Structure 1
Amino acid sequence: MKVLVIGGAGFIGSNVVDRLIDEKYDVTVIDNLSTGKIENVNSKASFYLCDIRDVERLNVVFEVEKPEIVIHHAAQIDVQKSLRNPAEDAVINIVGTINVLECCKNWEAKKIVYASSAAVYGDPEYLPVDEEHKVDPISFYGISKHTPEHYIKVYSQLYGMKYTILRYANVYGIRQEPKGEGGVVSIFLDKFLKKEQPTIFGNGEQTRDFIYVEDIVKANLNALKNGDNEIINVSTNQAVTVNELYKSMKEIFESSMSVNYSEERKGDILHSYLDNKKAKDKLEFSNEYEIKEGLRKTIEYYREIYKGMGEVAMSE
């Protein structure tokens, strides 16, 4: 089966590509390398340098490769950047996805798996948030991740293309850059390794549903053959405060580092964790990694990276 991973040089996308290669899929990667890295791209995958805003180039790739399934992870992911530049956020996330859908239609892709976000829900009215919860985003990023869901459903109705929309909780793990809304783990990790004081925005009691990247990868692969025409949360169904996250990382590092508290940021949701019952039912998915296990694997990976850079800070 031919699978095209758009954004396949990025954090989540490159991990998905690796697993697809391991499972013997024929994999093509598209990425503009604005945040992705060429060294993340599996050598067994075909690679095209391409921006999803470039309609002509995108159609060329589809014409040559003719993928059966498209996994779409290319996006502007920074909530704060979306507030500073909502037009660019919308062009990348909304118009870019429409361009992808047009190519799927033109070249008869059978299915698209779309990476959406918990940000579409906005401030929860109840917890855990299930897929029936109203959609009411409080950031432009949340709007730009939700709007493509409507386009995907209508393209499916008009042209018979299947889809699975995956609404991710806060993903962390190897290859994540220390920036962006979902990057609090990697931001803390970077600070610990450099022996710099981390900052927590607000009082640290805000909660998130932190899910390890390998669980996200598993959900994507399960979506190749399951979850047709469904919107599905991918989560742990567990709330973890930012203070608890910091404490766990501090313990793993055996660090005495203190934390700096700063004012809350606009567009940030205070409390969120996602119900994952539908994922178990429709995707045959359940997360395998508890937070401390995922953190240990992530920290081990980056310790090796920072050693090579001469920046690693071992136990204090």
Structure 2
Amino acid sequence: MVYMEGINQYYGDIMHEFYKDKKVLVTGHTGFKGSWISECLANMDADVVGYSLNPPTEPNLYNLLDLNSRITSIIGDIRDIDNLKKVFNEYEPEIVIHMAAQPIVRDSYKDPLYTYQTNVMGTVNICECIRQTGSVKSFLNVTTDKVYENVEKDEGYVEDDKLDGYDPYSNSKSCSELVTHSYNNSFFKDIGIACSTARAGNVIGGGDFANDRIIPDCVRAVGRKEDIIIRNPYSIRPYQHVLEPIFIYLTIMKEQYNNSKYACYYNIGPDTSDCITTGELADLFCKYYNKDNDFKVKWVNKSDDGPHEAKFLKLDNNKIKEVFNWKPVWNIEKAIEKTVEWTKAYYNNDNLLEVTHEQMHEYCQELHGGN
């Protein structure tokens, strides 16, 4: 397939040689970001083992990409430490990326106990398995931009700002950070395990069908040919395409595997210019969806008086830039354009694996300054 040649050339230069045949455990592999990173790792010939609940939605990216045919998938609950230990003992992963979570703010108000059990004790279980297994050399815990105590300040939060999420989801991810830091200081450093956490901003892209997220709400609205309902059009968030954090996750895990000096905690978000309101994001979605489309979508403001959510949130991304010489590749407009492109392909019944690989290829070309 032609579109794979360019992407494998990139991997060959930067990532493929490292990840080829590496045993990588991905928790949450059936989720949105988990599916994207599993696809990337599979294309780099990594030996990928996924551990997760069944895909959280129908449809879902995991099945649309037929990932079951290219990775080892284990359906299990992150709260089940006995089952987790069996997986670690059987597969002996060298690299672990922990993405399994209850990820929805509003759902955390509905079921805070499950949220804390999954996001806090799930992290404890993963750390305990890593501590006891002996095979793991590189561990990355993916958390969220919402781990900080949000005081609605205008500038972006830096990595040393206070951790104290407001709602049960955000707070549970703050706790997940602290659990990881404790295990790192108490155990991992002494036994040679490089450990980092990644606090990523709001991620968008093709294949996200979650509830209570703005882009999936847009996708469902155009599928039903209805108006997009926006409940908080003036809330500001650090939106970024899913490939931005995916590639820096891969970089962190690789670099700290080779040199533990790279093990730390990092913000991963867009530049300030791409932190926009939900209404502006919806405007961009409508702009690109309405191109060459008979049905013209629009959005309407309709608050549902839901629970508290932060109105203003930005991340300072200077640390990740300085340490890894990284910078965002796709601005918010390009991120929305590629999301809409994927969405149209989905509704047109196109080959979504090809579309996904083509977008990965394009991203990699631009990452290296190509055309």
Change (3 A) 1:256 1:106: closer
How many Å apart are 1:67 and its aligned residue?
A: 0.5
Q: What percentage of residue pairs aligned between the two structures are identical?
A: 25
**CA offset at residue 283 of structure 1?**
3.4
Instruction: Note if contact 1:210-1:291 (Cα within 8 Å) is conserved in structure 2.
Output: yes
Aligned residue among 278, 286, 289 for 1:242: 278
Instruction: Give the whole-Å Cα distance in 2 for the aligned partners of 1:30 and 1:231.
Output: 24
Offset at residue 274 of structure 1 (A):
1.0
- The answer on 1:114 being equivalent to 2:141 is yes
Classify 1:258/1:152 alpha carbon distance in 2 versus 1 (closer, same or farther; 3 Å): closer
1:222–1:285 CA contact under 8 A, matched in 2? no
Say if 2:131 is the partner of 1:105.
yes
What is the CA–CA distance in structure 2 between the aligned matches of 1:249 and 1:145, rounded to whole Å?
Answer: 29
Name the structure 2 match of 1:314: none
Task: Work out the CA distance in 2 between the residues paired with 1:284 and 1:35.
Answer: 35
What's 2:36 paired with? 15
1:147 to 175, 182, 193: 175
Instruction: Report the counterpart of residue 215 of structure 2 in structure 1.
Output: 185
Q: Secondary structure at the match of 1:280?
A: helix
Q: Answer 1 or 2: which has greater helix percent.
A: 2
RMSD of aligned residue pairs (Cα, Å): 1.9
| Cα distance change on mapping 1:110 and 1:124 into 2, 3 Å | farther
Unaligned runs of 5+ in 1: 310-316
Match of 1:209 in 2: 238
Secondary structure of 1:4's counterpart equals strand
Aligned to 2:349: 308
Q: 1:77 to 1:45 in 2, by over 3 A?
A: same
Distance 1:258 1:33 in 2: 32
Q: Which amino acid aligns with 1:303?
A: K
Moved more, 28-37 or 161-170: 28-37
What is the deviation of 1:258?
4.3
Deviation at 1:18, TM superposition (A): 1.4
Corresponding residue pairs, total = 306
Structure 2, unmatched stretches of 5+, are 1-21, 257-261, 291-295, 351-371
How high is the TM-score relative to the length of structure 2? 0.78
Aligned in 2, Cα 1:35/1:258: closer, same or farther, shift over 3 Å?
A: closer
Q: Choose from 253, 266, 271 the match for 2:307.
A: 266
Secondary structure, counterpart of 2:307 in structure 1: coil
| CA contact 1:5–1:27 (8 Å) conserved in 2 | yes
Match for residue 6 of structure 2? none
Runs of 4+ in 1 over 4 A off after TM superposition: none
The TM-score, its normalising length taken from structure 1, stands at 0.91
Q: Deviations over 1:18-37 (max 9, x none)?
A: 11222232211111115175
SS at match of 1:252: helix
1:80 deviation in Å? 0.8
Change (3 A) 1:256 1:26: closer
Cα contact 2:27–2:99 (8 A) shared by 1: yes
